[in-house]
Amino acid sequence: MADNGDIDTLLSSLNGKHGILGCLLVGGDGSVVSSSLPGDIDTSTLGALSATLFSNNDVSLQRMNRGALSQMTLLTDQGILHFCQVDGHFLIVLTAKGQKINLEGLIRSVEEQVLQLKPALG
């Protein structure tokens, strides 16, 4: 069972690194498990849409015989959204608008965080 205190701490520890605004952990159904995003962001809608977006892209990649999707990065005029699958959940990382981002550093930090999240989700 998920330990929400540990998960909250892990998500918050990414805030500020590599321009990260905050993180959102959602279940496979898009329900919010934990968030370190600012309160003015509608996390319920973001979670539901993100899970759908990730799942649809995963199906598309599999139909193209490109394997299962594990991570994806979207660049928008509002910043970066980085998605990562972790034990049946989705971790969504948002960067702040106007930040200069080291994408490799961001991805590496997210991958390290995923390794720490897995035991907390167990």
CATH code where residue 108 lies: 3.30.450.30
Q: How sure is the predictor about 1, in pLDDT bands with cuts at 50, 70 and 90?
A: very low
In eight-state DSSP terms, residue 41 is S
Average the pLDDT over 71-95 and give the result.
94
In terms of residue numbers, what domain contains 116? 4-121
pLDDT at 4: 74
pLDDT tens across 52-70, in order?
999 999 999 999 999 999 9
Q: Highest-confidence range of 2-16, 46-60, 98-112, by mean pLDDT?
A: 46-60
Q: How many domains does the chain have?
A: 1
What DSSP line would sit under 50-83, residue for residue?
A: HHHHHHHHHHHHHHTT-----EEEEEETTEEEEE
Q: What percent of the chain has pLDDT over 70?
A: 98
